[in-house]
Amino acid sequence: MSRIGKEPISIPAGVEVKTETSQVRIKGPKGELMVDLHPKIKLAVEGNIIQLDKLDNTRIAREQWGLRRSLVNNAVVGVSKGFEKTLEVVGVGYKVDLQGKTIVLNVGFSHPVKIDLPKSVNAKVDKNKITLSGIDKQEVGELAAVIRRIRPPEPYKGKGIKYENEQIRRKAGKSGGK
């Protein structure tokens, strides 16, 4: 049974929640998001609290209860505070540049790698750090994963693109056993 679905979601000041037939529209100071609801899940807004309930006790309803609660909570947090991921580019000669809505990475390939940013995600580049921010948690996380996948960190020298707080497990090289 989902323990996540039981938790109520508090609505911060400045955030509006409107329920439609199969969607929830959440509007806040940073923007607006839509979250789809499953037919077996009921959403109730009472004052400044959102409560989700399942209509029956089937397996699908129990699964969707916790999932939809997390999605609605992420949307509420996104339109009020936003989400942010920071990536670090580590390596001699590795460079990052932001040209409009395109991130240009020089990470040891024969050509620069260009990544176009979606409309809802903003980026800041400061030396070797890329900071992605936006209101949609899934989009920010997916873009960060796509950028990291271009040159994942390697275990011998630690070169590559890594998350800011990621720990790289280092290995000894050929002479490490002597």
Q: Is 175 helix (H, G, I), strand (E, B) or coil?
A: helix
Residue 1 has pLDDT above 60, yes or no: no
Structure tokens at 37: 């609801």
- Summarize pLDDT for 71-90 with one digit per residue, the tens: 999 999 999 999 999 999 99
Q: Tell me if 58 sits within 8 A of 40, measured CB to CB.
A: yes
Residue 174 is predicted with a pLDDT of: 82
Give the C-alpha separation, 110 to 112, whole Å. 7
User: What average pLDDT does the chain have?
Assistant: 92
- Summarize pLDDT for 156-170 with one digit per residue, the tens: 988 999 999 989 888
What number is the average pLDDT over the span 137-162?
94
Residue 54 has pLDDT above 60, yes or no: yes
Q: Which domains does the chain have, with CATH numbers?
A: 9-80 (3.90.930.12), 83-163 (3.90.930.12)
Residue 89 is predicted with a pLDDT of: 95
Residue 176 is predicted with a pLDDT of: 56
Task: Please report, in angstroms and rounded to a whole number, the separation of the first and last CA atoms in the chain.
Answer: 53
Residue 175 is predicted with a pLDDT of: 76
What number is the average pLDDT over the span 92-119?
94
Q: Is 172 helix (H, G, I), strand (E, B) or coil?
A: coil
CA 41 to chain centre: 24
pTM of the predicted model over 0.85: yes
pLDDT-based confidence at residue 12 (cuts at 50, 70, 90): very high
